[in-house]
Structure 1
């Protein structure tokens, strides 16, 4: 008996099930498509055997994409399929546009193909191959595509003992290179290993998977396979559009390779895992972000002995989910060595090859490049000529000849800057934790480290009740970081005077740090504070500052949620602060202004959080959290914008006028104290006077009052507003006792300018004054 071809089977099916098309064509005349669907379903329920199979093939036609439910019904009740009929069905389905594909009926079609013995699947090979390509380009969800591709590859398997196509689908260069390494006929134990790697569905494997994997890794060629597969991930970033390292289809086997390499402790393990986590978990690296593979690499790093990669990833990764996995990996790594994640972090700060004095040198021909950590915010490159004299830059010929080495040096410079910034943030975060160090550990991790020492040397420490700068460290027992909230006012004032006298610039406010105590109003409200509520702030600036200070929040959308809650964990994750704000103004479909609201606190209980009364929050946690919120309001409030009133909405004009010259918040009170110590040492001291809210400057043309909170200027007589656009660059000669207060520098610069108002040449300012 002659075997029908696929095309002949399709033609026969269309003829046999012509009633399907007749019923559907009637729907165009009746304009009752739903009625036709019901009638079609009723007819299919009473159709069996060859006629039902023919109806399924007919319903697979591309022009009947709206009848997918009928197709699913025809497939679910059909039986007795031949391989040629299934091939015909697939060939018709493949003509559909991918956005009309449904994983339910595609999965059912693959089920039909898998019902045949390997020897009977010959007619299915070409249609299944095309179906595999179609699934890869379809609009199905990634996990659905992965599942279907695996099962299609299983149906295409020729030899039960061979490595199945489903194990390493040739959808990316990585999987193809690993297949080539295995060859056409890999050993059975290697096939078994790869199939086991495909079974990992989570970022971390269970004990059963680990035990089985270790057994499969015993042969030397098995360990070589996972070593090669891990190394094959690493490649150069694309110069054009981002590309995938691992396709969705190979996510599970990639995870399996990562953990098999970790269990086997292969050569290059830490470098390979770090590359995967950094490149596939970061942004704008030349590769498509792959959170599943990056997450597996991060978790695997938690079982390695070196904490430095996790430290770097904690600094560089922006994705919230991946950062949580970094924290989990740090906890795992800390548990393995019997310490806490915080102590592990301080032990893992990278040195980037710097010497103890914070420098590193490279020879480029006859020239030398020297990287120097100048201070807590500055990392510079210096250049030396062959005769050892300093030069401003390398000659163009040297730069061109050593372009690759110079690029690598600048990469190190960038990494040192990131580490320095992260160390500033980490040490500032210690204010909420009552940590102590033995003198030996303190010296090892804080004074002898080439990067951390630059930050630590500008801070005040205490031991045995004595406070000191590291250069004056007395012999003592446990050392801890000094906080003004724990010190008497006389001691705080003395340290402020000492720092100003010695011209010590701290990496962030410590002696001049604001302290926030619980108020009677907050004792009354109990679980929330309204201290910084009802301020109008710039939404884009607020969002950016929240992110910079390590808070998690969402972007307010004009057409979506009208309020947001920013969150930050404090005291090494034991406490959490929540700051609520909501939409205040919209322009061009974007939220431009937000109104601030309550601040609340939660305490960790296991994996959950419980809201806690303000009176039960540790004083340092409360103070540091409220300090951040004060910073957000002070910096992003429209009252801090000197010319907002000329272009802003009139409905917020009253707020701008009231706050821009209103009572000082704690941050401005500290600024006033700093000015009281700095001004007597300046050339304009005899022209300046501090009042409760203003710095009064006597010029030759007028007298000016600079508000210590907003920095806005009023001219006497008449309290006329003076708009001065601040310069972008800070005066390098101007001494400030701490790095972070840009408004203090702004007020001082305005004071110097206005004290000599006769010398002003800016026409815009002169016209206002005159």
Structure 2
């Protein structure tokens, strides 16, 4: 059923919707028949049971093949001739049945990692609770176990920590889990518990790479002006590129409704989120861009918008995160620094911990900028756009290298985020500008 649903991507929009709907109905029926409370539980149970034997090796003509797993659970094929590691698989072995089976096992392990990464992020957003036995079953899978241990969990709605099997490693010491269910912590939980900086520091100190943004995820609480309002107007009036914006929203579960706007449904909470916009069904405005308007929340079957103070904080934050992404990526004028306050706050926290670990004391973080006292000059780096200015002297041109040639910058999450990597790299480069050897940059500094 999952393969059928994934294969729908090759068809048009109407057939995609039809086939995905059919797959969802099939999973619901299968889960109900098998005795699971929802399809997600069924999928997780199947993932836990379907792990291939990653310890198996195959020896053919003096070449030994096996599967290696990184600490993060990434699988790769190892090829050795005696004690020598080979970079590539000899062509003569590619059609050997046992070798084909072993390569398929590597593919399946990595596919499981991608599926579970998405499933765990969805579970955090939805606020799903997992029983200890469910976690234990999932932890038996060699690819899933590292993900479970690199995420922060909530126990009894009051303790946050790292899952260690029978206990939760919290800032206040180990907590016995017993038979109590756990759920993945959302930034709202860490914020209300007052432990967000603690876990950010732990992630950096332990060099934990989380499967998705959790501890360094953008968080969007209602502003004072929004608390008593029935609509959020923080992105009202922003002009976006229709095609790109519609694709981003669709990938995050938003559905265009002709003549009404775009809608996202939070099924567990019984809420619909609406944005008054013509995205997704074409208007003459597409030539110059389509404006986003106010976002409002309604209970299912009702027509009166809810006060934003009655919207669950997790739902509100994730909704605003979707809209912030659309405005930042699809804005007609490019990246709009004023629309990415939560993004710059995340990058500020990431830089703060990175600078602490590297013991760099010549960088200050103020007003969405990194202020750097370098050897050659003083600099500012905007945490939203990555723009660099020399003080005095104006704009400083530092061009990022292509992916194939770039070095490695540690980010505590697996999500691809080249702009964050670019911002962090520029700050670290200028903080130690005495060591710069690039002649193009040095010519500007001198």
Q: TM-score range by the shorter chain?
A: 0.7 to 0.9
Distance 2:55 2:246 in 1: 36
For the pair shown, the structure with the greater C-alpha radius of gyration is 1
Alpha carbons 1:361, 1:368 under 8 Å: kept? yes
Distance 2:135 2:124 in 1: 16
Q: 1:696 to 1:405 in 2, by over 3 A?
A: farther
2:367 to 692, 705, 711: 692
Compute the RMSD of aligned alpha carbons.
Answer: 3.8
Give the TM-score, by structure 1 length.
0.49
Alpha carbons 1:537, 1:638 under 8 Å: kept? yes
Distance 1:580 1:377 in 2: 42
Q: How does 1:361-400 map to 2 (within 5 A)?
A: 361-374=57-70, 378-385=74-81, 387-399=82-94
**Which structure 2 segments of 5+ residues have no match?**
169-174
The question of 1:457 aligning with 2:158 is answered no
1:340 to 38, 44, 49: 38
Q: 1:349 to 1:536 in 2, by over 3 A?
A: same
Distance 2:13 2:217 in 1: 39
Alpha carbons 1:429, 1:570 under 8 Å: kept? no
Alpha carbons 1:514, 1:627 under 8 Å: kept? yes
Structure-1 residue corresponding to 2:217: 513
Give the TM-score, by structure 2 length.
0.80
Distance 1:539 1:291 in 2: 16
Q: 1:407 to 1:705 in 2, by over 3 A?
A: farther
Q: 1:706 to 1:438 in 2, by over 3 A?
A: same
Alpha carbons 1:537, 1:594 under 8 Å: kept? yes
Larger relative helix fraction: 1
Q: 1:283 to 1:745 in 2, by over 3 A?
A: closer
1:307-341 deviation per Cα after TM superposition (whole angstroms, max 9, x unaligned)? xxxxxxxxxxx922211122112222222233222
Q: Relative CO higher for 1 or 2, CA cutoff 8 Å, sep ≥ 6?
A: 2
SS at match of 2:225: helix
Aligned residue pairs, count: 425
1:616 to 297, 301, 310: 310
Q: How does 1:559-598 map to 2 (within 5 A)?
A: 565-570=261-266, 574-581=270-277, 593-598=289-294
Q: 1:738 to 1:574 in 2, by over 3 A?
A: same
The question of 1:601 aligning with 2:297 is answered yes
Distance 1:766 1:515 in 2: 38
SS at match of 1:512: coil
Larger relative strand fraction: 2
Alpha carbons 1:432, 1:571 under 8 Å: kept? no
1:627 to 321, 326, 337: 321
**Which structure 1 segments of 5+ residues have no match?**
1-272, 293-317, 555-560, 642-658
Q: 1:278 to 1:640 in 2, by over 3 A?
A: closer
Q: 1:359 to 1:454 in 2, by over 3 A?
A: farther
2:200 to 496, 501, 505: 496
Structure-2 residue corresponding to 1:196: none
Distance 2:303 2:100 in 1: 50
Distance 1:760 1:590 in 2: 46
Report how far residue 493 of structure 1 moved.
1.9
Report how far residue 544 of structure 1 moved.
4.3
Report how far residue 441 of structure 1 moved.
2.4
1:376-396 deviation per Cα after TM superposition (whole angstroms, max 9, x unaligned)? 5844332222x2543222234
Structure-1 residue corresponding to 2:114: 421
1:542-575 deviation per Cα after TM superposition (whole angstroms, max 9, x unaligned)? 3443344444459xxxxxx9x9944444355844
The question of 1:522 aligning with 2:226 is answered yes
Q: 1:595 to 1:290 in 2, by over 3 A?
A: closer
Distance 2:273 2:73 in 1: 28
Report how far residue 665 of structure 1 moved.
0.7
The question of 1:710 aligning with 2:385 is answered yes
1:372-419 deviation per Cα after TM superposition (whole angstroms, max 9, x unaligned)? 45365844332222x2543222234434x54x7666655554444333
Report how far residue 421 of structure 1 moved.
2.0
Alpha carbons 1:529, 1:598 under 8 Å: kept? yes
SS at match of 1:739: coil
SS at match of 1:369: strand
Report how far residue 619 of structure 1 moved.
1.9
The question of 1:482 aligning with 2:179 is answered no
Structure-1 residue corresponding to 2:131: 438
More displaced stretch, 424-433 vs 727-736 = 727-736
The question of 1:735 aligning with 2:439 is answered no
Structure-2 residue corresponding to 1:103: none
Q: 1:419 to 1:595 in 2, by over 3 A?
A: farther
Alpha carbons 1:377, 1:507 under 8 Å: kept? no
Alpha carbons 1:640, 1:710 under 8 Å: kept? no
1:138-186 deviation per Cα after TM superposition (whole angstroms, max 9, x unaligned)? xxxxxxxxxxxxxxxxxxxxxxxxxxxxxxxxxxxxxxxxxxxxxxxxx
Q: How does 1:191-230 map to 2 (within 5 A)?
A: none
Distance 1:716 1:417 in 2: 47
Distance 2:333 2:370 in 1: 17
Report how far residue 523 of structure 1 moved.
4.2
Report how far residue 705 of structure 1 moved.
0.7
The question of 1:747 aligning with 2:415 is answered no
Distance 2:89 2:52 in 1: 21
Report how far residue 448 of structure 1 moved.
1.8
Structure-1 residue corresponding to 2:355: 679
Q: How does 1:120-199 map to 2 (within 5 A)?
A: none
Alpha carbons 2:355, 2:361 under 8 Å: kept? no
1:459-514 deviation per Cα after TM superposition (whole angstroms, max 9, x unaligned)? 01133443321236343231222223134353222212222221212122222233
Distance 2:340 2:5 in 1: 44
SS at match of 2:390: strand
SS at match of 2:294: strand
